[in-house]
């Protein structure tokens, strides 16, 4: 299988049991991303994984806010925060990466969300928009400029990571069929619109799988019925 050049990386976002069917924050059909990722991963010499890694008393968990229910929102010092079901607690099976992932060439795991008082969707920056994960510096030190992103969930951690990648000066492309979404109150359409506005590419796994010289392309917005007008993300 032809590999992409060393300036390219596959970023696998949160392929953890907590986001799979039966997990603490299950994404519908979330486990379907695993075989797709396994098919495309051999094309990449460089692979980075992210892993949600929350303490049990994390501020984003509805269970830690008496009288509040999952998917309600509260206001925190850094802005609006969705309250989530308890998920991906450090050291639990829920937080583990899926056993069937086949990425032996992966070089780095970025753990995020481990600060009690700040949520973290992006692989690059926590939700306070000040605390860096260090991923941008790592990629730049290795001469990596082109990012392909996949995993869970399209409209939260994947979208935030892709937009932050663009803000940090990287090319970024989301592999649509290697992702699944939560789609909370229209969040999926908003995420695609925001990513389009940021210059994030959108491809299918078949555009990458063992094809030389694959490059990002945009499918027409009308085919996905999205509004390409820039919108604000639901966190600062």
Comparing C-alpha atoms, which of 43, 7, 50, 45 is closest to residue 170? 7
Q: Which one of 52, 146, 155, 157 is the catalytic residue?
A: 157
| Spatial separation of the C-alpha atoms in residues 94 and 81, rounded to whole Å | 22
Catalytic residue among 88, 112, 155, 214: 112
d(CA 127, CA 125): 7
Whether 14 is a known active-site residue: answer yes
Decide: helix, strand or coil at residue 48.
strand
Is residue 187 a contact partner of residue 219, using CB atoms and an 8 Å limit? no
Active site residue 214: no
What is the 3 state secondary structure string of 90-106? CCCHHHCECCCCCCCCC
Question: How far is it, in rounded angstroms, from Cα 22 to Cα 138?
Answer: 34
- 87 touches 18 (CB < 8 A): yes
Tokens describing residue 18: 């907590």
Query: 14, 52, 94, 207: which is the annotated catalytic residue?
Result: 14
Q: DSSP label at 125?
A: B
Please say if 94 is a catalytic residue: no
Report, as residue numbers or ranges, the catalytic residues. 14, 112, 157
């Amino acid at each position: 299988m032809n590999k992409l050049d060393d300036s390219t990386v596959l970023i696998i976002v949160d392929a953890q049991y907590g986001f799979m069917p039966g997990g603490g924050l299950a994404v519908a059909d979330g486990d379907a991303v695993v075989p797709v990722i396994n098919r495309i991963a051999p094309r990449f010499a460089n692979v980075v994984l992210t892993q949600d890694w929350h303490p049990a008393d994390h501020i984003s968990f509805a269970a830690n806010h008496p009288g509040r229910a999952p998917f309600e929102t509260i206001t925190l010092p850094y802005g609006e925060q969705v309250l989530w079901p308890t998920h991906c607690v450090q050291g639990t099976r829920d937080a583990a990466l899926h056993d069937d992932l086949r990425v032996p060439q992966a070089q780095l795991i970025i753990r995020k969300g481990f600060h009690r008082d700040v949520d973290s969707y992006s692989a690059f920056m926590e939700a306070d928009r000040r605390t860096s994960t260090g991923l941008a510096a790592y990629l730049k030190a290795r001469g990596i400029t082109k990012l392909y992103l996949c995993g869970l969930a399209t409209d939260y951690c994947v979208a935030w990571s892709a937009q932050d990648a663009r803000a940090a000066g990287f090319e970024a492309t989301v592999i649509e069929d290697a992702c699944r979404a939560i789609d909370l109150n229209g969040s999926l359409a908003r995420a695609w619109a925001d990513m389009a506005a940021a210059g994030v590419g959108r491809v299918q796994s078949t555009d990458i799988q063992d094809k030389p010289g694959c490059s990002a392309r945009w499918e027409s917005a009308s085919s996905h019925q999205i509004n390409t007008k820039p919108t604000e993300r639901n966190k600062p």
